[in-house]
Amino acid sequence: MNKSIFSKIIAGTMNWGFWGKNYNTFDMAKMIHCCISNNITSFDHADIYGDYTNEADFGKAMIESRIDRASIQLISKCGIQLKGTSRNNSIKHYEYSKEYIIWSVEQSLKNLQTEYLDLLLLHRPSPLMQADEISAAVDTLKSDGKILHFGVSNFSPSQTALIQQKTNIRYNQIEFSLTHCEAMTNGSLDDMQINNITPMSWAPLGTFFKKQDAQSYNIKNTVLTLADKYCVTEEAILLSWILKHPAGILPVIGTTEPSRISNAMKSINVELELQDWFSLWSASMGNNVP
């Protein structure tokens, strides 16, 4: 398994800007400091967040916060072309030419006011992506010092293998949570362990706080019991379930509430007992494990 350069929990910034809280520079700088004070030093971005505005807003806040760039890690993604006011696109699509990847990274660096990304991810797979083109872009960006590491996001094992044949993939950011745990049974997490790829999980709390259905009801009873047993909050139990997986999954949390950030970090110190871990999985499935 890779020794990760990132904090055990990563701050997802998608909801910090135009698509969510719409923080001003001062408030965003406060959020950066809140994360760092809770030992979250890694920040997950994508060029499209906030209709291509979040990275520039974060860059201004990062300067305002006066933090040492070397003390944090910046992740960004490229490849999705949105139909919107910011770009002349007639339809949402994906673009992974060498020229576009390099241009997109350079835009992210300019907006984030940094000289390098700790990690670049391809945001979603495209049927038209060519491994040679992607590899050429990655090689150029690495040799120029503009990215340190490379990975993918939402890629299946076969899609990952297609790119991996030409360039090394260190990370794959996928949807994974107690309510969306298919990657644990469809071979995705197995494949990552085999190929020394560290998973990141977006939406790691799943639909636990969003849906009122049979699955949520089953899970809630078990989560509440375990939260009481381990003296932590519900989100800490949900995250500790992910952290126990041997693939070394790094959750990307999207909360904008300082108290929930603090609660989430308590999951790192929770070591779920084996049967407690399986009780959560059984609750998610609605029956005992096979």
Amino acid code (one letter) for 284: S
C-beta of residue 13 within 8 angstroms of C-beta of residue 47? no
- 171 catalytic per annotation: no
Structure tokens at 278: 């399986």
Residue 198 to residue 196: CA distance in whole angstroms: 7
C-beta of residue 25 within 8 angstroms of C-beta of residue 61? yes
Residue 221 to residue 99: CA distance in whole angstroms: 51
What's the distance, CA 19 to chain centroid? 17
Question: Is residue 134 helix, strand or coil?
Answer: helix
Q: Shortest CA distance to 36 belongs to which of 58, 7, 5, 1?
A: 7
Buried b (16+ CB within 10 A) or exposed e, 29-67: bbbbebbbebebbbbbbbbbbbebbbbbbbbbbbeebeb
Q: Which of 49, 52, 96, 230 is catalytic?
A: 49
Q: Between β-strands 93-94 and 80-81, what pairing exists: parallel, antiparallel or unpaired?
A: antiparallel
For the beta carbon of residue 165, count every other beta carbon within 10 angstroms: 10
DSSP for 156-202, please give it. -HHHHHHHHTTS---EEEEE-SSSS-GGGTSSHHHHHHHTT-EEEEE
Catalytic positions, written as ranges: 49
